[in-house]
Amino acid sequence: MPAAARAVNTSRTISMIASLTTLFFTFIGIDGMGHVSGHNVERNTFHQDSSTISGPVFIAPVGNQTAAIGREVVFSCSVRNIGKYKVGWLRASDQTILSVHTRTVTHNARISVSYESNGCSMPAGVAGGSAFGVTGSSQAADEVVNGTWRLHIRQLKESDRDCYMCQINTSPMISELGCLDILVPPDIVYGGDTSADLAVSEGDNATLSCRATGRPTPRVSWRREDGEAILIRASSAGGGSFEKHETYNGSVLQFHRVERRQMGAYLCIASNDVPPAVSKRVTLAVNFAPVVKAPNQLLGAPLSTDVQLECYVEAFPNTINYWVKNRRGLEDEMLLEGLKYNVREERSGYKVLMWLLIKGFTEQDVGSYKCVSTNSLGKADGTLRLYEIKIGFERSSRKDHVSIIGGLAEAAQSSGAGNSFKGLFECWKKLSHYLSMCLFIPVLLWPR
């Protein structure tokens, strides 16, 4: 090999050995005086460990929360060793930034952030030393701080139901998630899903429905406003037996072949343990023609007394009620409130009690009376007959008899045209005859 080539190779080899020697001395820490500097080894090892344990760490999870609408909720994010990094709050669903460190950036006035420091800070600079007395340059230690960032959401709305993220801008970013569930009190939905006041004809089917919203899902029940039990037919086919329910659970209340006694106001009540519970009033009206009942169809009274006649009416819709007196061969006379008559009535649901008070009963008041009730579905009436009761004994050339019997017989005879009183008249006629015979003998023996 030529001498020039060998010289070049030798120069390259010496240069590589010198470079490797320099790197080795640098790694083991030999200074210019030939001493090993252990300080460099320890310091490098410390910084390596600190890089793995001195970064931000979440002390506790954010956690999930549940709150009722209108209340306030607070999410807490506790961090250790925050150092130079920043903490932010975000809405998870759309990544909307709510706050950065201690500053609120959202325009939502109901949302704010607060910060509380519950740790300490290391001094900004610490002098570095060596076990071998070598003095080195000072270097700042990492800042160690424990702090809590709180996200406040006031006057909660249903739209606040979401997850919220506490995020630290490390690389890669680290975060903790907490979800918020909003409890909503029940609300009854008005419209097609909830019944309005309902009117049906007697014998038809009727359905009352009520739908409510809320979170959790509300429970719906029915009660009668008057406190009476709800009557439900035991069979949907329309049997005669009924089941009684103080409270009926379910959003739909069905009536098969509805009867008048099922008429009334019903309360739909919705509750889900989130106050307040709500209710809606639904009225069920059952339409039917008037039915009139006269409990005492035959009445007697002495002259100059006040006589009261009564009638019971059942009907819906409401009826027009009045009294008339039958006059033979003439048109019936309507009786109005005045000096002679007192007319009044008392309503309770679909029932009406009618009264007619005749003041100062006279012979002209003897006769037949009618209580009349009419509505848009029909008309009905009840007949009452009023007679005179004669008090004491009467003496006549033909016979003497007890006047009350004679009065009753006269009343019955005056209604001879009515088939219902013919038998009664015959019975009283025979009884009157026997009593007259018994009383006639003492009259003959009476001293003159």
In a domain, 27, yes or no: no
The verdict on 193 and 84 lying in the same domain is: no
**Residue 368 predicted with pLDDT over 90:** yes
The verdict on 325 and 280 lying in the same domain is: no
In a domain, 61, yes or no: yes
Higher-pLDDT residue of 216, 413: 216
Q: What burial class does residue 153 get, using C-beta atoms within 10 Å of its C-beta: 0-12 exposed, 13-18 middle, 19+ buried?
A: buried
Say if residues 371 and 381 touch (Cβ distance below 8 Å). yes
- Supply the range of the domain harboring residue 324: 294-388
In a domain, 365, yes or no: yes
pTM of the model: 0.65
In a domain, 89, yes or no: yes
pLDDT of residue 41: 33
pLDDT of residue 240: 79
Average pLDDT over residues 55-62: 94
Mean pLDDT check: name the lowest of 118-122, 301-305, 382-386, 417-421.
417-421
The verdict on 179 and 193 lying in the same domain is: no
The verdict on 194 and 179 lying in the same domain is: no
Helix (H, G, I), strand (E, B) or coil at 318: coil
The verdict on 62 and 177 lying in the same domain is: yes
Alpha-carbon distance 100 to 81, whole Å? 17
Give the confidence band of 38 by pLDDT, cuts at 50, 70, 90: very low
What are 428-445's pLDDT values in tens digits? 455 554 544 444 334 333
What are 332-353's pLDDT values in tens digits? 899 999 999 999 999 999 999 9
Average pLDDT over residues 2-12: 47
Helix (H, G, I), strand (E, B) or coil at 145: coil
The verdict on 171 and 78 lying in the same domain is: yes
Give the confidence band of 391 by pLDDT, cuts at 50, 70, 90: confident
Average pLDDT over residues 288-312: 96
Give the confidence band of 327 by pLDDT, cuts at 50, 70, 90: confident
Alpha-carbon distance 31 to 13, whole Å? 25
In a domain, 437, yes or no: no
Average pLDDT over residues 202-216: 96
Cβ count near 389 (within 10 Å): 18
Give the confidence band of 225 by pLDDT, cuts at 50, 70, 90: very high
Give the confidence band of 383 by pLDDT, cuts at 50, 70, 90: very high
The verdict on 85 and 109 lying in the same domain is: yes
pLDDT of residue 328: 79
Question: ∠ CA 16-18-22 to the nearest 5 degrees?
Answer: 120
The verdict on 105 and 172 lying in the same domain is: yes
The verdict on 383 and 356 lying in the same domain is: yes
Give the confidence band of 85 by pLDDT, cuts at 50, 70, 90: very high
**CA of residue 48 relative to chain centroid, distance:** 64
Mean pLDDT check: name the lowest of 143-147, 152-156, 357-361, 370-374.
143-147
Average pLDDT over residues 251-280: 96
Of the chain, the end-to-end C-alpha distance in Å amounts to 198
In a domain, 106, yes or no: yes
Q: Which of 232, 254, 287 is the endpoint of a domain?
A: 287
pLDDT of residue 54: 73
In a domain, 30, yes or no: no
Q: Domain count of the chain?
A: 3
Alpha-carbon distance 368 to 327, whole Å? 8
**Residue 59 predicted with pLDDT over 60:** yes
Helix (H, G, I), strand (E, B) or coil at 68: strand
Average pLDDT, the chain: 78
pLDDT of residue 221: 97
The verdict on 236 and 272 lying in the same domain is: yes
**CA of residue 99 relative to chain centroid, distance:** 39
